[in-house]
Amino acid sequence: MKNKEIYRRILKLLKPKMPLICLSLIFAVINVVATLSIPILTGRGVDCMIDKGNVDFAGLKTILTWFLVVLLINGIANYLMTLLNNRVTFSTVHDLRRDLLKKMHTVPVTTLDAMGHGDLLSRTISDVERLSDGLLLGFSQLFTGVLTIIGTLIFMFVTNGFISLVVVVLTPLSLFAASFISKKTYKHFKKQASLQGKMTGFINESVNAVRLIKAFSAEEAKEEAFNEMNEEFAKVNLKALFYSSTTNPVTRFVNGLVYAGVGIFGALLGIGGRLTIGTLTCFLSYANQYTKPFNEISGVVTEFQNAVACAGRIFEFLDKENTIDIKEGLQEVNAPVLEGNIEIKDLAFSYDKSKKLLYDISFKVDKGSHIAIVGPTGCGKTTFINLLMRFFEPDEGEIFYDGIPSGSIRKKDLRQQIGMVLQETWLKSDTVAKNIAYGHPEATMEEIVEAAKKAHAHSFISRLENGYDTVLSQDGGNLSAGQKQLLCIARLMLNLPPILILDEATSSIDTRTELKITDAFETLMKGRTSFIVAHRLSTIRNADLILVMKDGNIIEQGSHETLLEKKGFYWQLLNS
C-alpha cells in the first residue's frame, strides 16, 4: 500500500472526529498566540529599565500583569488542547481495534490460517499502539509546531523585516534535512514492523508448543532460529534508530545557524541605532521559538513514519476480502428450525486450486440418521466437516439443508442449529461454568450442572478448588486433555441442536469414560442427524450410513454389514 493511500485512510478514519480536531486547532492557535506574545512583553520590559536610574515602574507593573494573564491563557488553552487530542487519538484507536476484531470474525478461516496468529496479534496490539503514539504526537506537537513557525514569522516581519529575511533564507536547510532523513527511516520502520510480527508469531508458537519442544530436546534449534531472527531485527532496528536519531542533531545545527545569524545581524543594527536592546531580546527569543518546532516536528515526522508503516499493515488486514454470507444469485432465507434432512450435490473443494482435494461428493441423508465418516489420515474428513459448517465455501456443488441451499442461509443462523465437538479442544480463560455455557450464556446453574453430569464431567469439576467457579487458565492449561474434552462435550449437552458433528470427540478420553460418553451420545443423537468422524469400530458399526473416503472422494458408502460383504477398501481398513 502506497503512502498517499495510507494518509488518505488515516484522514478518513479521523473524519468523524473533525469537530473535536477543529476545536483543538482553535486552542492551539490561542496557545501559540499567547506563547508568541511573551517575547514582546519581555522586550518591552527590558526597554522599560534599560537606562541607569531611569526605570519605568508603572510600565513594568502593567507588563507584568499582562504577562500573568497571557501565561494563564496559555496554560488553559494547552490543557484543553491536550485533553481534546487525547480524546481524538484514543477514541480513534478504540474504533480501530473494534474494527480489527470485527474483521477477524468476518474474514475466511483460510485467511487467518495463512497470516499466522502471532502476526495477527502484532497488528492488533503493537501496530495499533504505535499508530496511537504517532497520532498523539502529531496532534500535540505538529499542530502547535506548524502554527508556531507561521506565527513567529508573522510577528518577526511585523517587528523587523530585514532580520526576518535571515531566518527565511536559512530555514529550507532544516526542511531539506528532515525530508531526506524521513524518506530513509520509513523503509526501515516498515521492515521493522514486519519483522516484529514474525517474532511475535515465533514466540507465540514456542510458548504454545513448549512441552513438545522439551520432549524432543529442540531447545537449541529453537534458540538458534530465534537468535537469527532477533539479530536481523536488531540490525533493522539499529538502522531505523540511526537515521531517525540524526534528524534532531541536524536540525539543531541549522537552528544554531539561524540563532547566530539573528544575533549577529541584530547586534549590527543595534550598534547602528536602528534596533533597541529590547527588540533584539525579543528577536532572539523568536529565533529560539521559531527553530524549536523544527526539532519537535522532525521527531514527530520520524515517529509518524513508524506509525504510517504500522497503519499500512493494519489497513492491509482490514482490506482482506470478507467471507461470503449469502452467496451471489441466491435469495436469503430466514432459516426455520432445521429437521436435519441433508443432501450433498457434486461437492468439490481444495485449498490449493491447482490440486484437487475433495471432488464429486454426492449423497443424501434423512433426518435422525447417523453418518460415520472413515478413511485414512489426509483424505479430507475434517475438511468436509468444515464445509458442512461453512467455515469454507465449496468451489463447486452445494449443500442443502431441508432442501434449502446452505449459501442462502445466514451463517449465524445455520451454525446455531449445528452442535460440534472437535478433536482439538478450545476453552477460554474464565470459570468452568461460563465455559460450559459458552453457546448458551443465559443457562441457569442447574442446567449447567445437569449438562456436566450427562458428559460425566461433574465428578472432576466438583474436585476442583472452587468447583464450577474455578477460573481456568488460557485454553484450559490447568486441566488434562481428557478433562478439557469432557467440558467441550458438556457444552454440547447444554445446547442440543437438530444436527450434531462429532469429530473424534472421545479421542482424549480413557476407555472406561468413553463407554459412558458413548451411552450419553446414543441418548443425545436420538432423533438428530449426526455426523461422526472416528477410527474406532465401536463408534462406526452402529451408524445408519458409513461414508468411506480416500484421496478426497467417497469411494464407498453403505451400512457396516453391506460394506463388509463388498470386501473393498472399508474391509481392508478394518482388517489393517
Scored b (16 or more CB within 10 A) or e, 558-570 reads bebeebeeeeebb
Sequence-ordered list of residues with C-beta below 8 angstroms from that of 312, at least 6 positions apart, any chain: 1, 6, 190
pLDDT at 327: 79
Q: Are 1 and 316 in contact (CB under 8 A)?
A: yes
Domain range summary for the chain, segments of one domain joined by +: 3-318, 342-575
Cβ count within 10 A of residue 311 = 26
CA 21 – CA 399 distance, rounded (Å)? 52
Q: Are 70 and 34 in contact (CB under 8 A)?
A: yes
pLDDT at 359: 83
For residue 475, the 8-state DSSP code is G
Cβ count within 10 A of residue 322 = 11
CA 432 – CA 481 distance, rounded (Å)? 15
Q: Are 387 and 376 in contact (CB under 8 A)?
A: no
Q: Are 430 and 491 in contact (CB under 8 A)?
A: no
What's the CATH number for 3-318? Answer: 1.20.1560.10
Q: Which three cell numbers stand for residue 508?
A: 482424549
Q: What angle do CA 33, 287, 168 make, to 5 degrees?
A: 95
Q: Which three cell numbers stand for residue 189?
A: 520502520
Could you list the pLDDT tens digit for every one of the 576 residues in the chain? 677 888 888 888 888 888 888 898 888 888 888 887 777 777 777 777 766 667 777 777 888 888 898 889 989 998 998 898 888 888 888 888 888 888 888 888 778 777 777 778 778 888 888 888 888 877 777 777 777 778 777 777 777 777 777 777 766 676 676 667 666 676 777 777 778 777 877 887 777 777 778 777 778 888 888 888 888 888 888 887 777 777 667 777 777 777 777 777 777 777 777 767 677 777 777 777 776 776 666 667 767 777 888 888 888 888 888 887 887 777 777 766 788 889 999 888 888 777 778 888 888 888 888 888 888 877 888 888 888 888 888 888 889 998 888 888 888 888 888 888 877 778 888 888 998 888 788 888 999 999 888 888 888 889 888 888 988 877 766 787 778 888 888 888 887 788 888 887 666 667 776 776 777 677 777 788 888 887 666 667 888 888 888 888 888 888 888 888 888 888 888 887
CA 385 – CA 392 distance, rounded (Å)? 10
- Alpha-helical regions (H) of 389-510: 411-415, 432-436, 445-454, 458-463, 481-494
Q: Which strands form 358-365's sheet, in the order they lie side by side?
A: 358-365, 342-349, 396-401, 404-405
Helix or strand or coil: residue 435? helix
Q: Which strands form 545-550's sheet, in the order they lie side by side?
A: 418-421, 499-503, 529-533, 370-374, 545-550, 553-558
- Alpha-helical regions (H) of 48-142: 57-106, 109-115, 117-121, 128-137
Scored b (16 or more CB within 10 A) or e, 351-390 reads eeeeebbbbebeeebeebbbbbbbbeeebbbbbbbbbbbb
CA 543 – CA 574 distance, rounded (Å)? 15
Type of residue found at 518 = T
pLDDT at 76: 92
Sequence-ordered list of residues with C-beta below 8 angstroms from that of 361, at least 6 positions apart, any chain: 344, 346, 347, 348, 384, 397, 553, 554
Q: Which three cell numbers stand for residue 570?
A: 472399508
Which secondary structure element, helix H or strand E, spans residue 547, and what is its range?
strand 545-550
Q: Are 321 and 374 in contact (CB under 8 A)?
A: no
CA 88 – CA 18 distance, rounded (Å)? 9
The whole-angstrom distance between residue 553's C-alpha and the CA centroid of its chain comes to 38
Task: For 342-575, give the CATH class.
Answer: alpha beta
Of the candidates 71, 252, 289, 27, which has an alpha carbon nearest to the alpha carbon of residue 159? 289
CA 366 – CA 341 distance, rounded (Å)? 5
Helix or strand or coil: residue 500? strand
- Alpha-helical regions (H) of 426-480: 432-436, 445-454, 458-463
Q: Are 569 and 548 in contact (CB under 8 A)?
A: yes
pLDDT at 51: 63
Does this model's pTM top 0.75? My answer is no
Task: Count Cβ atoms within 10 A of the Cβ of residue 241 and give its class: 0-12 exposed, 13-18 middle, 19 or more buried.
Answer: middle
Taking phi over 0 as left and psi of -120 to 50 as alpha, with beta for the rest, 172 belongs to: alpha
